[in-house]
C-alpha cells in the first residue's frame, strides 16, 4: 500500500453549522469527534458543531494527513504528540482520541510514514 501525504496548508474547507458556515484551513483542523449524536470539528481557533456526518468528514479529509483512529475520531497527524496502545494525545496534550486495538499497527505505521514525509 502506497501512502502519500499532501500539504493541506493552502486547502480551505467549509464547516457548516446550524446557524453559520465557516471556512478554515484543513491544516488547522486538529480532529473531528462524534459524541452524543453530534459531530464536533476541533480547530486551532475553536470548535464547531457540524451538520454533516462523520462519513462526510472522513470522505473530505481522508486523502490529507488524517487518520480515523476509532469510529468516533478522525485526527490530523500533524497534531499528534504521542500515543499509547489505546489513546492518541493531540495538540500539546490538550486533547485525547481513542485508538482501537485493531487499528494500532496501521496507525503506528501510517504515523511513522507521515513523520518521514515531513522531513
Distances (CA, A) of 4 to 1, 14, 28, 102: 10, 23, 19, 22
In this prediction, residue 62 carries a pLDDT of 83
Domain spanning 12-117: which superfamily? LytTr DNA-binding domain (2.40.50.1020)
In this prediction, residue 119 carries a pLDDT of 86
C-alpha cell of residue 44: 486551532
In the chain (119 residues long), the average pLDDT of successive 10-residue segments reads 54 96 97 97 98 97 93 98 98 98 97 94
Amino acid at each position: 500500500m502506497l501512502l502519500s501525504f499532501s500539504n493541506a496548508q493552502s486547502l480551505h474547507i467549509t464547516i457548516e453549522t446550524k446557524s453559520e458556515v465557516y471556512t478554515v484551513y484543513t491544516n488547522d483542523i486538529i480532529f473531528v469527534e462524534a459524541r452524543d449524536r453530534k459531530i464536533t470539528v476541533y480547530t486551532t481557533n475553536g470548535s464547531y458543531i457540524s451538520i454533516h456526518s462523520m462519513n462526510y468528514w472522513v470522505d473530505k479529509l481522508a486523502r490529507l494527513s488524517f487518520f480515523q483512529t476509532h469510529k468516533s475520531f478522525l485526527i490530523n497527524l500533524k497534531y499528534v504528540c504521542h500515543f499509547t496502545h489505546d489513546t492518541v494525545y493531540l495538540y500539546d496534550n490538550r486533547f485525547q482520541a481513542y485508538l482501537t486495538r485493531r487499528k494500532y499497527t496501521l496507525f503506528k505505521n501510517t504515523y511513522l510514514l507521515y513523520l518521514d514525509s515531513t522531513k
